[in-house]
Amino acid sequence: MILLASAVAFARILVEIGVVAPGFFRTAVLPIGLLTVVFLAVALTGWLRYARGDERVPEPKNPSELRSALVFAALYAVILLAVAAAREHLGRGGLYGVAVISGLTDVDAITLSTSNLVARGDLSSGTGWRVITVAALSNLAFKAGAVALLGHRTVLARVALGYGVVAITGLALVFLWP
């Protein structure tokens, strides 16, 4: 279930890009879509191999709580400012540092702010999808750490294997995609 939820988060990234920056979506859909397909295949393989039907799904939180919306808005503003400052003062390399840090806790804010920068012409689409991918991979590392601290070793082994395949694929795309 953890792998499937994480795979869906990658699909959500594509939806966010498509809504905010349709022109950018045409560039980002191939590499991020490929990574999403790999993730879904890993999740399906894990589910078919390990599913026993005894896992319980926690009750979801109410996504319309005002506090959550305000926290997201603040996080979005801080990340938008950090991305713009990093781009201005540190160049492209600084954006990747911001992506790693912001991706640890949230991928949506960096996805939306980066998509806006690409849509305005302030960032190339190739750099944009790479920054978002780095943030998403950073988020996977954070989730793996949470599983390591809070979960059982068996769960960690299953998740780490799946996340590892996705991380290697993602890094290969970031460095090797034209």
- Convert the pLDDT of each residue in 126-150 to its tens digit: 999 999 999 999 999 988 888 887 7
**CA–CA separation, 133 and 6 (whole Å):** 13
Identify the H or E element spanning 171. helix 153-176
pLDDT tens column, 85-95: 776 777 767 88
Q: Is the pLDDT of residue 5 over 70?
A: yes
> With a threshold of 0.85, does the pTM exceed it?
no
Q: Is the pLDDT of residue 23 over 60?
A: yes
Write down the pLDDT at residue 155: 85
In terms of pLDDT, which residue wins out, 21 or 79?
21
Q: Is the pLDDT of residue 60 over 60?
A: no
